[in-house]
Amino acid sequence: MKGKLGRGVALVGAGACKFGAYPRQDSRDLFVEAFRELVASVDNKGFDPTEIKALFIGNYSSDLFEHQGHLAPILADWVGLTPRAALRVEDACASGGVALRQGVLAVASGVYDVVLVGGVERMTALPTEAVTDTLATASDVLYEFPAGFTFPGFYAAMATAYAARYRMPYEALMHVALKNHTNGAHNDKAQFGMTIREIMDRRIAKAKEKGGLVPSWEDEFAFLRDPVANPIVAWPLRLFDCSPITDGAAAVLLAAEKVAWRFTDHPLRVLGTGQASDTALYGRADLTSLRAAREAASQAYAMAGVEPSRIKLAEVHDCFTIAEVLAVEDLGFFPPGEGWRAAMTGATCRDGPIPINTSGGLKAKGHPVGASGVAQVVEVWKQMRKEAGPRQVGGEVDLALAHNVGGSGQTCVVHIFGGGDCG
């Protein structure tokens, strides 16, 4: 890897719509909402959106979710940016992060000074079975699909392999879910903006209202162990180990460092970007780590010239709780086999040494697949600028990382952002 950008690229704006279930809205509606928030996020209030010269859109499958192909020029049109170049980038659930990377490379190439990177997915209008089926097309459809694998199954296989090798108790995964819901409870854009305690209490209150049998969980752990409250989806993964089905959109504004001053006095810098691929899960020798994640992270760290230990905050791809455990190891925050302990000891909590998924992660914030990689960067933007409100981490976040995974790890893309002045 040469791995150096021809010129510096800065992050100068970011926005997202509230994630949730909007089956009667279209992708373009969600995108317009994110775009409006992006425009409002630009410090320089004289910002004219037509300065945006191209749109890079992460979207997994508007084809199957909405029976709409060729989405990118529609989105450009809907925000008044015709005839700007607009394209869709697809790498399953890493589509957003990979779109970001294409936007970064496009600015670094010298062709564009200002581009928008968007991510969008409208998923909830289909029945759950159809959503699961659509997501399963991100596997190898010739070899894995016929074996009955859908995504909870892939990550369950990883969880099983990991637990067996490293003696992880199931409680570790509960801690991931508890933490991410606790973070999400402070995120007004989250689909499930409640702690698991709050969800549990609400269930109890509802049962009381109805006058039926009132469950008496001792605490959240008892709630999460209850096979009715938290049923097995694919053993050992239960409902609260899985990210939800979500509609949402996010967008960020990139500019060449030399023009970043036009948008803000406080741009963030894209210090590192890395991307890698892997074979589908059926062909892998090891299920306890994602090779593409390690490779993408190594590229991004090398480009940024930083060590994992210097990262102050990370948004990682927790499509399932086990994925976060793997991620914190693949990114070098913890040694192999120690990721689950980090979850249990609180090392990854908002006030821990390396806060992970302060946004609530895919787990609580929601996972509109093509948007997730971009939404991660929206959180990085807010945290690094101290605009994260009630979930703001303490201290200066001068280095942050976003880690976005496609499928069962066939794609991974990692970005590292730094604060400080641009040229």
DSSP 392: P
Q: How far is the CB of 9 from a copy of itself (least distance, A)?
A: 9
Q: How far, in Å, CA of 409 to CA of 319, rounded?
A: 11
Q: How far is the CB of 256 from a copy of itself (least distance, A)?
A: 9
335 cis-preceded (ω within 30 degrees of 0) = no
Work out the widest C-alpha separation in the chain, in whole angstroms: 66
Computed on alpha carbons and rounded to an integer, the radius of gyration of the chain in Å comes to: 20
Among 316, 361, 309, smallest CA distance to 335 is for 309
The SS3 assignment for 41 reads helix
Angle between helices 170-184 and 196-210 (to 10 degrees): 90
Q: How far, in Å, CA of 44 to CA of 57, rounded?
A: 24
Q: How far is the CB of 243 from a copy of itself (least distance, A)?
A: 17
Q: How far is the CB of 54 from a copy of itself (least distance, A)?
A: 8
Q: How far, in Å, CA of 90 to CA of 103, rounded?
A: 13
For CA atoms 383, 387, 390, 393, give the dihedral sign: positive
Nearer to a copy of itself, 163 or 254 (CB): 254
Amino acid of residue 195: T
- From the candidates 93, 242, 349, 422, give the one annotated as an active-site residue: 93
CB atoms within 10 A of CB 338: 16
Nearer to a copy of itself, 6 or 389 (CB): 6
Nearer to a copy of itself, 356 or 412 (CB): 412
Nearer to a copy of itself, 5 or 251 (CB): 5
Active site residue 403: no
Active site residue 242: no
The tokens of 286 are what? 């090891």
Nearer to a copy of itself, 67 or 210 (CB): 67
For CA atoms 42, 48, 49, 52, give the dihedral sign: negative
Nearer to a copy of itself, 102 or 243 (CB): 102
**What are residue 234's DSSP bridge partners?**
237
Q: How far is the CB of 224 from a copy of itself (least distance, A)?
A: 31
The answer to whether the CB of 162 falls within 8 A of the CB of 326 is yes
CA distances from 163 to 127, 142, 196, 314 (A): 32, 28, 23, 24
Residue that the structure tokens 């390396």 belong to: 354
Nearer to a copy of itself, 1 or 213 (CB): 1
CA distances from 14 to 145, 178, 216, 253, 346 (A): 37, 27, 43, 6, 29
Q: How far is the CB of 45 from a copy of itself (least distance, A)?
A: 25
- From the candidates 175, 181, 367, 415, give the one annotated as an active-site residue: 367
Nearer to a copy of itself, 108 or 313 (CB): 108
Q: How far is the CB of 57 from a copy of itself (least distance, A)?
A: 9
CA dihedral 329, 333, 335, 338 (to 10 degrees): -70
Q: How far is the CB of 79 from a copy of itself (least distance, A)?
A: 11
CA distances from 271 to 165, 280, 385, 417 (A): 35, 29, 16, 5
- Which positions are annotated as active-site residues? 93, 367
